[in-house]
Each structure stands twice: as structure tokens, then as C-alpha cells.
Amino acid sequence: MDNFADRLHQAVSARGAPVCAGIDPRADWIPDEFYDRAFSQHGRSPAGVRAAVREFCLQVLEVIAPFVPVIKPQAAFFEALGPGGWDDFAAVCARGRELGLIVIADVKRGDIGSTAEAYAASLFGSSRVKDIALSSCRADAVTVNPYLGADGVEPFVLRAREHGAGVFVLARTSNPGSAQFQELALAKGGTLVDEVAARIHEWGSGGVGRYGFSDVGAVVGATHADAAARMRAIMPNAWFLVPGWGAQGGAAETVRACFKGGTGAIVNSSRGVMHAYAAGPLKDHGPARWREAVEKAARQFHAEIKAIAGG
């Protein structure tokens, strides 16, 4: 089975830029045309709302697929739609795979023992109960919270590796309050995030592919210039998933520090691409021209990050 890091490298090469589009559907920003169609079929009901959001996400994938090698559906926005939201999340993951995209399930799971194993089973491969096959959402990778330590991460790493998938462990995240814990000084020297980074490097040591990167990556935000180079020095073989570009104010110099020889990082933009018609420099397009705005945003994002990475 192909190593996840190798598949990611190949996907980036095929699309020409190391970019990831976050699929974070804000229900109140979905163009009315989708609600009109969904309500005509399902009535003004929760099922109608879910159908509108789902169809919009699927159409967004069609628009952005030529420009991005990776998508990152955020589970919370789908779970907020009600009990059926996970089905919509899985449908988006499935369509992404059909379009040849790498799918990172942004779920930020973190638990131990059999619970961690169950979470991992919901994301990778399939399971059997009474000889009945139970499918997962078949993600290519997942985001994991390391706060519970190795026994909260290793079940995901093991299950992912069995299925040629990957894990991105939260390291230096992009949110403003991240330093409250992540940059705490340790008695032995360094900070908490330095220790997490060292463990990520260790967890990934058994999954290094032929391009020199491992199947255990790190989430390193684009908003902390002081941390990016430090993280890269500690984790030379890790793919970095880099959120914070665009709406969160990520800077080019920080993003550049995440790369190693022009590779090894995937930069994410969420609402800046999929909701470009509603917020940001292309919002003058409005919902009526949503498709045009999303395509323009994807093209521009592709070009910006390609230039930063040295492509």
C-alpha cells in the first residue's frame, strides 16, 4: 500500500501548488438558489437545509478540483446540521476522492484506548460486526489532538498506516490563544510545543516514504512567524498542514518557513475560497456569481502559494 506522504507529494505535483481548500460550510452564507431547490423537494425542514448545504459543497468541489490537490472538510460544520450531518460529511469526502483529491478529515479527535480505536475506525478502512461490513468515511488523513499523550495518538497512527492514510497532529496552531499552553516553558528547557514536535517526529519515524517525508504530519499555523522555523528544525520529515492563510492573517514569510526545499507543507484556506463571494476581496460578486468568485479565489490562492513555495 502506498505511503500517505508519497501520495500527498504526488498529488501536489499533479496540481502544481501545495494548497488545501477547507470545506467549512456556513449555512447562512449558502446562496439562496440551493435552498430554493432543496426546499422545493424537502420542504422548509432540517432535511432541506442539509440538502442545500450538501449540494453546495459538492458543487464547490467541482469548481476547485482543478486547482487544489487537497481538501479539508471540517466535521463541526456538518455535525451542526443535525444527526444526519455526518452522512453529508462522508458524502463530501467521497466526492473529493472521486475527483482525485486528498481528503483530510478535520475532526481534531483526541482520546485513549478503545475509544481512540473506534474513532480511528470511523475514519479509515472498514470494520466488521457479525460478518457485516461497516464502512468509514475513508479519509486520507485526519487531524488529532495530542493532549492525552502517546496513547491518544498511536491508535490513529496505527490504523492510518494500515490503510495508507496519514495523521496530522496539532502542534503550533493558528488561533490567537494558542500560546497559553503551547508556548509554556518546560523545566528542562524549551516549550510544550517543542516537546510535542519531538514526539511527532518520533511517531513518524516508522512511516517515512521515498520522498523523505513521513505519514505523521503536524498542524503548524501561518500566524506565528517565530514558531514556524523552529518547528521545521524539530520535525524535518513531517508534512506541515498550515492553516491561517487569508482570513486569519497568515503571513508569507511564516508560510515560507514551513517548507523544506520548496515542499513538505500544505497551506489551507477555508472561507477565503469556498465563501469568496460572501467575504473578502471578491465579496462584490455576491451569491449570484458565487461560482465565478470561488474559481477566481482558487486560482489566486494557487498562484500565491506556488510563488511562496518557490514553484
Q: Which residues are catalytic?
A: 108
Residue pair 161/203 in contact by the 8 Å Cβ criterion: no
Containing H/E element for 111?
Answer: none
Could you tell me which of 130, 196, 136, 131 has the C-alpha nearest to residue 160? 136
The half-sphere exposure of 8 on its side-chain side, counting CA atoms within 13 A, is 36
3-class SS of residue 110: coil
Q: Judge whether 81 and 27 are in contact, CB under 8 Å.
A: yes
Whole-angstrom Cα distance, residue 18 to residue 115?
A: 33
- Name the DSSP letter for residue 191: B
User: Per residue in 238-256, is it b (16+ CB within 10 Å) or e — as a string?
Assistant: bbbbbbbbbebebbeebbb
Q: Which residues contact 253 (CB under 8 A, 6 or more apart)?
A: 225
Q: What angle do CA 209, 214, 219 make, to 5 degrees?
A: 150
Phi, psi of 268 (to 5 degrees): -105, 140
